[in-house]
Structure 1
């Protein structure tokens, strides 16, 4: 194991996870109100809709597919053993990646060109947007040039991540992958490390307490106009 591989595939992932967990706890205790997407919808709605919908639709399903493959490797392998299902998933994945890329580019263009949205943007917004665009673009490039990623992902990234979580890192699973694939994986961990300092924290702010809170009674106070 050379020192560069140690830094990239062991030290960097652990550092990113440590910062993500510690930073999220710190931010939650320091400023719980900031756990939101800090929506700018009231500033501009039309372009936000056409950027936000394809972005969230594409990226959330892609992330869910990555997670399912990681959590349920056995069923996922059996599913992919059917070449027709594998090919279908490849096409769906490409379509979702294009949707996510179009969406994030639209959101970036909106933030750059709308004066009020640009004025309310933070430094981390300008850091995060290029990283997300790069990550989705590289992921799409990998999908186009290294086909059947849903399959070989099971024999490379999944066992590597499992070994990291088991505190027994085994970088041989990923050390010989093409540079662009490794870049995609490492950039993902870089974004995870930035997670607690960006608006991405709204991902974990889903109001689960709404499921068991008492029914909220809303009384309308609408005055009737006299003609």
Structure 2
């Protein structure tokens, strides 16, 4: 019963919540549809945390997406041991990089009072879920080898069964606990997403293509010189 709730019911609840709350914020509370950027408070730690994080997590998500959309081609790609070893090592390195970068960004937010004031409780919950997601992913890559291969035979058919509205929870019911946590937490992130500042990433800022550029100039009043 618990497997059915976690892998057969909760994913739909998370997606429904993400869509409904996201649409509400976009059409009713448009002002809240913002990144509330702290870029003006940027320091060196933000660079070393934010830039590696974005590159690492995009590549990791791209690999997950390709294995989901093209399982046959993905299986052929990993048919040679050399390619499998290379992908496993690359994924582990990207996961460690993403985890370190995420910890640096959280440390910056906690350590800088100016940044902490623009960080909501939901943002902290989202960051904590991201840490859990990346940490469990690194643990899976390090302890449960060849995940890039068996993902195609466990997570991929389970996700496609959700798309067909015919959840086949048996695919994940037999996996280790850490894999279950990783899968459920992915939908926890989806459910938290519309409540956080990250909701703005799903919008397509087409108006920016024709909007005149803006120049930001810092003005600091200087003392009078004699």
TM above 0.5, one fold? yes
Q: Give the Cα–Cα distance (whole angstroms) in 2 for the partners of residues 197 and 217 of structure 1.
A: 30
1:201 aligned partner: 199
Cα deviation, residue 218, structure 1: 6.2
Equivalents in 2 of 1:56, 1:217: separation in Å? Answer: 27
After alignment, is 36-45 or 130-139 more displaced? 36-45
The match for 2:158 is: 160
Using the TM superposition, give the Cα deviation of residue 26 of structure 1 relative to its aligned residue in structure 2, in angstroms: 1.1
CA positional deviation for 1:203 = 2.3
What is the TM-score of this pair, normalised by structure 2? 0.89
Q: Distance in 1 between matches of 2:86 and 2:154?
A: 21
Aligned pairs (5 A) from 1:45-194: 45-194=43-192
Alpha-carbon separation, structure 2, partners of 1:40 and 1:15: 31
TM-score normalised by L of structure 1: 0.89
Larger deviation: 175-184 or 198-207? Answer: 198-207
Question: 2:16 matched to 1:30?
Answer: no
Question: C-alpha distance in 1, partners of 2:185/2:66?
Answer: 21
In structure 1, runs of 5+ residues without a counterpart are: 221-227
Distance in 2 (CA, whole Å) between partners of 1:110 and 1:15 is 33
Task: State the shift of 1:219 in Å.
Answer: 10
Do 1:58 and 1:96's aligned partners in 2 also have CA atoms closer than 8 Å? yes
The answer to whether the Cα contact below 8 Å between 2:49 and 2:104 also exists between their aligned partners in 1 is: yes
Tell me if the contact between 2:36 and 2:118 (Cα under 8 Å) persists in the aligned partners: no
Whether the aligned pair in 1 keeps the contact of 2:126 and 2:193 (CA below 8 Å) is: no
Alignment gaps of 5+ in structure 2: 216-226
Q: 1:36 to 1:218 in 2, by over 3 A?
A: closer
Q: Which residue of 2 aligns with 1:5?
A: 3
Length, aligned pairs only: 215
Deviates more, 1:138-147 or 1:69-78: 69-78
User: Structure 2 vs 1, CA of residues 64 and 32 (structure 1 numbering), >3 Å: closer, same or farther?
Assistant: farther
1:20 maps to which residue? 18
Shift in CA distance, 147/218, structure 1 to aligned 2, threshold 3 Å: closer
